[in-house]
Amino acid sequence: ERIPAIDRACSYAGFFNPYQAESQMFVEKRAAVWAYVYGELAKVQSGVRELPTKERLAQELDAEVWGAS
């Protein structure tokens, strides 16, 4: 069975259950996504990079966060 939303997936991390390991991974990935996005926002705001498109940011997240398992 798939958990339909990341907030629900993360809610299983704090207690023993069949989904705990997967849930803990989602908590770590969610934190990594926010850290990456805010890091890139700081670069945009300081002029280091241009504002990426949604598609480009999604590609970067795939490579930097989800591909880094």
pLDDT of residue 35: 96
Q: Which contacts of 3-12 are long-range, i.e. CB under 8 A and separated by 24 or more positions?
A: 6/30
Average pLDDT per run of 10 along the chain, which is 69 residues long? 72 90 91 95 98 95 80
DSSP secondary structure, the chain, as one string: ---SSHHHHHTTTTS-STTHHHHHHHHHHHHHHHHHHHHHHHHHHTTSSPPPPHHHHHHHHHHHTGGG-
